[in-house]
């Protein structure tokens, strides 16, 4: 066991992947000498050289386009998008090329590209630095989309994403980068396209991913004497581990879905629709959603009011018992 922050756990996972396969490359803005703005790639260029940890120009579309070419030549590029809001210049390459080329070639061409995106708020950043763009990519067929929430998953899931032959969008909750946990590096990880029950319960199911997992666990602890809340970390956003979700909802009869992104057309809408279709006769109440408001992400002084917190999660839980 080694105690690691989430940022360091991802760093160690990248290091392990690079040691295991010389075709693994890291590329992005300031990932080399600086080690990334969150220091997730700290020390990797020093140890593996500038040909494998590449400081790129400030051109997200160029980063992804170059990675596609490298993948076609047998490499496994890991691209860092410095902040979530910077991914949109790269959207054309991701959506029209990266996601579609394997099917366009009838599977003859594989694109094992990982796009790392620090996402979410809570760090007091300026505009374009606190977005939650996951729904854009879960809606894009051809992409795997995953989100880690803790150091254990950060260490293992980044390696699984790199080994995957499909393009992977890898979301990292930036306000959890400094959270610590014991990581057993030699452990056999669970598949990275599966969710995980992180707290068992019997009264209501709360589904979350990324930065909201910790918030939901804190909410469950706060009312443990009154409510038995089961918390599930979705981990994989596309594909969804629907069987795990259904099993839990059929047991509890109630469900709340929480994410930082705006509620309107967020990933929670898809989750609610699937639960309603598959578990309608097991539900004791409508499935409720907790999320951000349908506004652009606010200035840092207001983000505490914007971000879903423990009280908003528990309010939704209480409302499910009003039916």
User: What residues are labeled active site?
Assistant: 129
Expressed in angstroms, the distance from the first to the final Cα of the chain is: 46
Cα–Cα distance between 191 and 180 in angstroms, integer?
Answer: 22
Q: Is the CB of residue 29 less than 8 Å from the CB of residue 58?
A: yes
Q: Is the CB of residue 11 less than 8 Å from the CB of residue 40?
A: yes
Q: Give the H or E element holding residue 130.
A: none
C-alpha dist (Å) from residue 155 to 8, 21, 59, 118, 293:
8, 16, 28, 15, 32
Q: Is the CB of residue 212 less than 8 Å from the CB of residue 267?
A: no
Cα–Cα distance between 208 and 116 in angstroms, integer?
Answer: 19
Cα–Cα distance between 300 and 127 in angstroms, integer?
Answer: 9
Residues 6+ away with beta carbon under 8 Å from 195? 232, 233, 234, 235, 236, 240, 241, 244, 245
Query: What letters, b where the CB count within 10 A reaches 16 and e where it falls short, cover 2-37?
Result: eebbbbbbbbbbbbbbbeeeebbbbbbbebbeebbb
Helix axis angle, 212-222 to 310-320, nearest 10°: 60
C-alpha dist (Å) from residue 289 to 149, 226, 261, 264, 319:
19, 21, 11, 10, 11
């Amino acid at each position: 066991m080694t105690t690691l922050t989430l940022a360091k756990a991802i760093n160690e996972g990248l290091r392990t992947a690079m040691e295991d396969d010389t075709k693994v490359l890291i590329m992005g803005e300031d990932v080399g000498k600086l080690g990334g703005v969150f220091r997730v790639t700290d020390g990797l260029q020093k140890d593996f050289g500038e040909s494998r940890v590449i400081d790129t120009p400030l051109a997200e579309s160029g980063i992804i386009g170059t990675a596609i070419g490298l993948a076609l030549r047998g490499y496994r590029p890991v691209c860092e998008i410095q902040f979530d809001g910077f991914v949109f210049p790269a959207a054309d390459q991701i959506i029209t090329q990266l996601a579609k080329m394997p099917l366009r070639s009838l599977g003859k061409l594989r694109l094992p590209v990982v796009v790392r995106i620090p996402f979410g708020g809570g760090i007091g950043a300026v505009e374009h630095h606190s977005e939650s763009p996951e729904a854009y990519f879960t809606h894009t067929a051809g992409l795997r989309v995953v989100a880690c929430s803790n150091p254990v998953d950060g260490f293992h899931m980044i390696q699984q994403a790199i080994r995957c032959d499909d393009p992977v969008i890898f979301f990292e909750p930036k306000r959890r980068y400094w959270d610590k946990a014991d990581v057993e590096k030699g452990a056999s990880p669970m598949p990275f396209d599966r969710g995980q029950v992180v707290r068992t319960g019997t009264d209501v199911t709360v589904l979350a991913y990324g930065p909201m997992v910790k918030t939901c666990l804190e909410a469950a602890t706060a009312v443990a004497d009154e409510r038995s809340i089961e918390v599930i970390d979705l981990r994989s956003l596309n594909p969804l581990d629907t069987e795990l979700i259904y099993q839990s909802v059929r047991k509890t009869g109630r469900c709340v879905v929480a994410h930082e992104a705006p509620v309107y057309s967020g990933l929670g809408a898809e989750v609610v629709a699937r639960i309603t279709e598959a578990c309608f006769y097991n539900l004791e109440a409508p499935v409720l959603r907790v999320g951000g408001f349908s506004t652009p992400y606010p200035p840092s002084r207001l983000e505490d009011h914007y971000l879903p917190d423990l009280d908003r999660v528990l309010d939704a839980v209480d409302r499910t018992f009003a039916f």
